[in-house]
Structure 1
Amino acid sequence: MDYDEFLSLTVASLAIGFVFASSQLYRLSIVSFSIVFSIGVLSIISHEIAHRQVARLMNCYSRYVIHPLGLLITLASSLPFVPIKFIMPGVTVIMPKTYDYLEVKRIEGVTSLAGPVTNIVIATLGFMSINLYSALTGFYSGYIYYLVYINAWIALFNLLPIPPLDGSKVFRWNPLLYLLSLSVSVGLFLTTIIY
């Protein structure tokens, strides 16, 4: 990872951390803010690194770049009166080393799915941890809940079939796999609302 990519990923992840942690400002708790901020940062870094590493495993050039307008929209969604949190400060650019249309479509689909699947796995493990923690201690962990909520939201938002989001590339490549991954992410997100 070169300095420009590191800087882009750092700025983007800090922005996303702030978007999620801004909901904690009303509590006036630096501890709550810091924990939710850290969860947001680590969740998006995991998402973007998954894209990048899967692309590199598929012998593609890939790197994370900031999208200035997307960064502004992301930061604007941290305002308390904005109900939907937009998380689109940048993109992992992938350049396949082939011109075969079907292969490019497959590479884009697989690498696009890697990020949301990473968040789905983290959210699922977090949800299982909440239940285990509650069963063992009799207490409910709100911070593990935020881990589940943030990762479920990142997966769901990115799986929307709107370009340039991941969902549009996954749908173009494999509609059935797209519907399956979208269904899982919707289920996880609804679980965080109901739970």
Structure 2
Amino acid sequence: MSGAVSNLSLLEKISPFEKRDLLIAWFCLAVAFTLGISGGIAFVTDFTKISIDTLALTFVVAIITVGLSFVLHEMAHKFAAIRYGYWAEFRKNTQMLLLAVVIAVVTGIVFAAPGATLINTAGREMTKKENGIISLAGPAINLILAVPFFICMIAGILIGGAEVSQFTLPGFLFYLGMIGFQVNAMLAFFNMLPVGPLDGRKILRWNVVVFVVTIVVSLLLLYVSLQPWMFVKMLVYS
């Protein structure tokens, strides 16, 4: 099976069912994030203050940031598994996707477990190293993605100065970069937690040093990503 898989092109390794599930999960996550930006109906006292333009812009940003970060995270798991000769496909969790949208609408909190990349070992026993590296691929790609989004945020500040309105080019760059930076840092750190079926538990079983380094870097990036105005003050007012 390994030889047959290696002869397929990149897109051919993503089945029609997997493409469908990825697109559905991508869309639902973007909707959940967009609805969550309002703060949730439980905390909104005046619905007339919710701007349609802002929601539309947020949806575009969510499609690029949340969707892209999630898809590439799952694809990193998939292609790492394929590298070891296994077959892997993402499968959505419809109930969890619906729950994510409902929670976002009610509370304004985006918490989603949209599905998982399922690995078919074809009867082979996966080693701790293989499982660890396959698990590490997801958080690692999020840490890598955090860099261009951080650069995008900084570019918005340098171009626009203190002007951070979302409806200007500098403001859009800042907003896009800030959200992308935060989302990828959050995904990396959350998935590195050594609990349940999360990646961190499998990585810890494989290599303690790799686990500690990765989760510390994720935590530092998460902390920095949640202080975007610090960079505005540093670059504009210093």
Q: TM-score, normalised by structure 1?
A: 0.86
Pairwise CA distance, 1:136 = 4.4
Task: Determine the structure 1 residue equivalent to 2:24.
Answer: 11
Consecutive unaligned residues of structure 1, counting only runs of 5 or more, are none
What letter is aligned with 2:24?
V
Question: Do the aligned residues in 1 keep the contact of 2:143 with 2:218 (CA within 8 Å)?
Answer: yes
The residue aligned with 2:143 is 120
Post-superposition CA distance 1:123-174 (Å, at most 9, x none): 1221133224423442551121111111112222222222212222112222
Distance 2:181 2:127 in 1: 32
* Counterparts of residues 1-195 of structure 1 (less than 5 Å): 1-25=14-38, 26-29=50-53, 30-38=55-63, 39-81=65-107, 83=109, 85-96=110-121, 99-100=124-125, 104-138=127-161, 139-140=163-164, 141-195=174-228
Which is further off, 136-145 or 112-121?
Answer: 136-145
Q: Matched residues in 1 for 2:70 and 2:156: separation?
A: 25
Distance 1:33-1:135 versus aligned 2 partners, 3 A rule: closer
Verify the 8 A CA contact 1:65 1:93 in the aligned structure 2. Answer: yes
Higher-Rg structure is: 2
Segment drifting more, 63-72 vs 173-182:
63-72
Residues 159 and 166, structure 1, Cα contact 8 Å, conserved in 2: yes
Measured on the aligned residues, the alpha-carbon RMSD in Å equals 2.2
Report the residue type matching 1:61 in the other structure: W
Distance in 1, Cα, partners of 2:108 & 2:159:
37
TM-superposed CA distance for 1:48, in Å, is 0.9
- Alpha-carbon spacing, 1:24–1:72, altered in 2? closer, same or farther (3 Å): closer
Q: Segments of 4+ in structure 1 off by > 6 A?
A: none
The separation in 2 between residues aligned to 1:160 and 1:111, in whole angstroms, is: 16
1:5 and 1:63 in contact (8 A); partners too: yes
CA distance in 2, matches of 1:107, 1:47: 17
2:31/2:59 contact within 8 Å kept = no
Return closer, same or farther for 1:126/1:178 CA change in 2, 3 Å cut-off: same
Distance 1:27 1:120 in 2: 32
Structure 2 gaps, min length 5? 1-13, 39-49, 165-173, 229-238
The aligned amino acid for 2:76 is A
SS in 1 for 2:107: coil
| More moved, 120-129 vs 70-79 | 70-79
